Amino acid sequence: MKDTYQQSAAVIRTQFFNIDNGAGTTVDEPLFDSGPRGCRITRVYCIYGEATATVAAGNYRLGTAVGGAQIVAATAYVNSKAVGDVTEGVLALDSLPPNTRCFVRHTGVAITQTGTASMVVEYVPYSE
């Protein structure tokens, strides 16, 4: 069966996470459902909403279960990023079957650093 796509990609993003919410502290957020026909993920990245300090011990990931990393493995935040900079995630899985729930996990760093980040997913729902 040939994959078909709608004309434009959907974009969904998380809240801005405070990167320094505590070393190793995790926050999980259900992000989206792949829809009745599934979807193709085209891009996953984080965008920084506040300049970062030393935050490389923190990371984000995207999976099909809470804490999962089936779609994007743990991707470290980057030190010394400016507002609006992005860090791309590497897709390990880009095609999702129908009605698959996706979750993002943010893992923080020590409470003395600065920086916020929002995870963004661009995807195209399959059409008939």
* CATH number of the domain residue 54 falls in: 2.60.120
Q: Is residue 107 part of a domain?
A: yes
What's the CA gap between 109 and 38, in Å, rounded? 34
Q: Is residue 1 part of a domain?
A: no
Residues pairing with 112 in the sheet? none
Q: Is residue 59 part of a domain?
A: yes
Q: Is residue 20 part of a domain?
A: yes
Q: Is residue 5 part of a domain?
A: no
- Find the angle CA(43)-CA(49)-CA(52) to the nearest 5 degrees: 100
Q: What is the pLDDT of residue 16?
A: 96
Q: What is the pLDDT of residue 127?
A: 81
What's the CA gap between 63 and 41, in Å, rounded? 12
Q: Is residue 117 part of a domain?
A: yes
pLDDT tens column, 32-67? 999 999 999 999 999 999 999 999 999 999 999 999
Residues spanned by the domain of 59: 10-125
Residues pairing with 39 in the sheet? 96, 125
Q: What is the pLDDT of residue 108?
A: 94
Q: Is residue 30 part of a domain?
A: yes
Taking residue 37's Cβ as centre, other Cβ atoms within 10 Å add up to 14
Q: Is residue 54 part of a domain?
A: yes
Low pLDDT (below 50) residues in the chain: 1, 6
Q: State the total domains in the chain.
A: 1
